[in-house]
Structure 1
């Protein structure tokens, strides 16, 4: 079974994303900030990380930089999922190692299409 780590400080977003991913047969774990997510990936590498940008303690960008520097092999596909929609934000995320970018609010079709593009389903 494929696995996904949802990293978002919003419990509602995590719940919605969990529901979408579980209906797609993903095993889902959650983290409320980047620091918690780093602790999780140090223990087990998920197939996909759905990552929020703006979070307390450690932002999505700080998490992504730290995660990519860990040289985890294999590494997870990272999908930024955020309200930040400026081309500069998107480019910065891709430059730091994000594989895809999704705008909030999202739905099942959007997540599913990104997972297909990445070869995760």
Structure 2
């Protein structure tokens, strides 16, 4: 079974994303912050990470760069979850290591489409 990690400060978003991952047949784990996410990834890199654009975008960009340099970090798919379609912020996230962007609020269909776009369903 593929594994997904949800990194978001909002408990509601983590819960919703976790449920959707379950519907898509992913084992889900949810964490509130980047430090905890990096700890989890050090132990075992998930197949996909959904990361919130966050209140501090610089911290999120640093997280993306750090993650990509970890063992297995180049293979995992990273979906940057944003509240708004800010082209500059999205461009920075993609350059920092995100594979794609998912706008909030998202649902099962939009998440499944993104997963298909990045090759998680073969």
What is the TM-score when the length of structure 2 is the normalising length?
0.91
Runs of 4+ in 1 over 4 A off after TM superposition: none
CA RMSD of aligned residues (A): 1.7
CA drift at 1:74: 5.8
CA drift at 1:62: 2.0
Asked if residue 103 in structure 1 is aligned to residue 106 in structure 2, the reply is no
8 A Cα contact 1:53 1:84, kept in partner:
no
- Alignment coverage as a number of residue pairs: 120
8 A Cα contact 2:68 2:97, kept in partner:
yes
How many Å separate the matches in 1 of 2:97 and 2:49? Answer: 12
Structure 2 unaligned blocks of 5 or more: none
1:68–1:22 Cα change, 3 Å: same
Aligned residue for 2:6, secondary structure, equals strand
CA drift at 1:70: 2.0
Q: Within 5 Å, which residues of 2 pair with 1:33-48?
A: 33-48=33-48
Structure 1 unaligned blocks of 5 or more: none
Aligned to 1:118: 118
